[in-house]
Amino acid sequence: MFKAFNMNKIAATILLFGLCGAAQAQFQSDDEVVAAALNQKKFSQNLGRHHISLGLLGYFKSTSGDFELPGFDLSQGTGQFLNYRYSFDKNIDLAVDVRAWGSEKEVSGISGEIVAGGVGVGLRLNSSNIGERIFPYIQVNAYSTTEEWKLGPFSGRNEDPEIGFGVNGGFEIKLGKLISIPLEANYLYGKPLDDVSGYGFTTGVSFNWGDVN
């Protein structure tokens, strides 16, 4: 019985809070309603202040020819990225960008692998949104590029990173207040050991939060 009393007490408390909340919403002033509508409009015009994006599904093609051997082609592989962006306003973001591509193949029992990419900073320019959900952008980056490869019993990696650069652009498709989907094309240039330059396409997920005035 004591347990039932406590359960009833909890239920009554929850009901009381619910009624209070409903009453507060019912008597919300007209000014607050207008402010909420303006905030909603502002929300629809940008993605927020902070952003973390993960590029999970991607394709990359090396264009240098350095990874195309007779009967052994490592020039095509997967591309991924991870970045954090801070929006100064709805048009300009500062980005910390990590980008990589990799390829592996086995021919006649001989395996080959290549992983290359860079860590750097970039500047993103956001164009005017298309409707309420599509946000075009272009981003330029400067990278410290690295490379590691393996072919049968041989392997190599650069000890000193080299400067490279990259350009990526596309769309963020807003799914909700906190989540959007990036669809982008990208180009990477760098020569840490070999020429790892090439182009790719990537999609993934972005997490957005904070307000941009």
DSSP string, 89-112: SSSEEEEEEEEEEEEEEEETTEEE
Q: Residues 94-127: pLDDT tens digits?
A: 999 999 999 999 888 889 999 999 999 999 999 9
Tell me if residue 36 falls in helix, strand or coil. Answer: helix
44 pLDDT band, cuts 50/70/90, is: low
164 vs 77: CA distance, rounded Å? 20
Measured in residues, the chain has a length of: 213
As assigned by CATH, the class of the 48-209 domain is mainly beta
Identify which of 1-5, 56-60, 70-74, 128-132 has the greatest average pLDDT: 56-60
Model confidence at 72: pLDDT above 90: no
Model confidence at 198: pLDDT above 70: yes
Residues above pLDDT 90, as percent of the chain: 66
Q: Residues 78-94: pLDDT tens digits?
A: 999 999 999 999 999 99
Average pLDDT over residues 152-175: 92
The overall average pLDDT reported for the chain is 84
Identify which of 34-43, 44-53, 184-193 has the greatest average pLDDT: 184-193
